[in-house]
Amino acid sequence: MNKRAFIKTTAALALAAAFGGAHAQTPIKFQLDWRFEGPAALFLQPAAKGHFKAAGLDVTIDSGNGSGGTVTRVASGTYDMGFADMAALMEFHANNPDAPNKPVAVMMVYNNTPAAVLTLKKNGITKPADLNGKKLGAPVFDAGRKAFPIFQKANSVTNVAWTSMDPPLRETMLVRGDIDAITGFSFTSLLNLEARGVKAEDVVIMPYADYGVKLYGNVIIASPKMIKDNPAAVKAFLTAFAKGAKEVMANPAASIDTVKARDGIINVPLETRRLQLAIDSVVASPDARREGFGQINPGRMALMASQVSDAYGTKTRIDPAAVWNGSMLPSAAELNVLPPAKK
């Protein structure tokens, strides 16, 4: 072996050894879908406990301001990976067919959309049919509002009027009686209503997943560049994430400290409840147990692609094969992270 070949071989071996160990850290910029709230513990736990570092990764986690923004920032290359609503990812693909760097979903986290219709018992709305002729409110970009045509079709709801507002006003306007019902993430809007003095037993929640709308929720996304250049790093991220998620679901209360470390003014009991609600309703849901954590059912994904194409009025039809790449998922044993089913 000549000197140049020896140096190249030695460098390659050193790099491989470093990636397998905790020395040479592959940087990954990761953006959440929203603020540092309870569910963010799923990502902050593996970072705080050193799981990413042990996998050879230097992961930076930033808060977000909505799934659409996260998808756009991963597409632009500002972030390598992110956490975003599957429908928002599909919408980006279908409305930007010529975009050179369309992000791809690599792991399912919220097996069911958290979207729900919420109202107050005093409004006399107890089932979807009662929404006929009512005033609904949500921000224009709200996932539940954008997917509402799918909920409407599944439940024969007609003739609703929409009021738009900024996110902080949504629950306030419902409490004031300006609107009859809202769409939002169940575990976010319920706690926001409680914060405005409403008792949980006075809230009516109609989760989309319970009313014939089997849309997937949030997924981990990665840029095609990251997948092409370093699929091993993506797999390492997903494996470390699954390990942290298992710890979070086994003891949600203990993991909230990781959220408080990033946002010191959070209400710890409130965010602990929000995390538990998210785990129960969308992460460890019956559908998630059926399909397996992190994974998808291709038929269900294809149906969602068709429904979102129709409901969102996308420029092109969504290709379900283009938005999902499960080839970097950890092993079945590593994905066995869901807590025992509650009886």
% of the chain beyond a pLDDT of 90: 90
| 325 Cβ neighbours under 8 A, 6+ residues apart | 104, 105, 106, 227
Nearest to 86 by CA among 296, 231, 235: 296
18 pLDDT higher than 50 = no
Give the model's pLDDT for residue 23.
54
Give the model's pLDDT for residue 2.
57
Nearest to 70 by CA among 124, 131, 143, 140: 143
Given pLDDT bands bounded at 50, 70 and 90, which one contains residue 243?
Answer: very high
Q: Summarize pLDDT for 93-152 with one digit per residue, the tens.
A: 999 999 999 999 999 999 999 999 999 999 999 999 999 999 999 999 899 999 999 999
φ/ψ of 105, rounded to 5, equals -75, 135
Instruction: Give the HSE-up count for residue 13: Cα atoms under 13 Å, Cβ half-sphere.
Output: 6
11 pLDDT higher than 60 = no
Give CA 117 to chain center in angstroms: 18
Give the model's pLDDT for residue 308.
96
Please provide the average confidence, as pLDDT, over all residues in the chain. 93
Domains of the chain: 24-112+216-323 (3.40.190.10), 115-211 (3.40.190.10)
Residue with tokens 């994904």: 301
Give the model's pLDDT for residue 118.
98
Residue 179 CA to residue 172 CA, distance in Å, equals 10
Residue 174 CA to residue 153 CA, distance in Å, equals 24
The pTM of the full predicted model, rounded to 2 decimals, is: 0.90
Residue 86 CA to residue 208 CA, distance in Å, equals 15
Q: How far is CA 280 from CA 176, 229, 254, 307, in A?
A: 30, 36, 17, 25
Bridge partner residues of 108 (DSSP): 219, 294
6 pLDDT higher than 50 = no
240 pLDDT higher than 80 = yes
Given pLDDT bands bounded at 50, 70 and 90, which one contains residue 20?
Answer: very low
299 pLDDT higher than 60 = yes
15 pLDDT higher than 90 = no
For residue 46, give the H/E element and its range: helix 41-48
Give the model's pLDDT for residue 325.
98
Q: How far is CA 71 from CA 9, 88, 271, 315, 340, in A?
A: 38, 7, 25, 17, 33
Bridge partner residues of 222 (DSSP): 81, 104
17 pLDDT higher than 90 = no
Residue 5 CA to residue 9 CA, distance in Å, equals 6
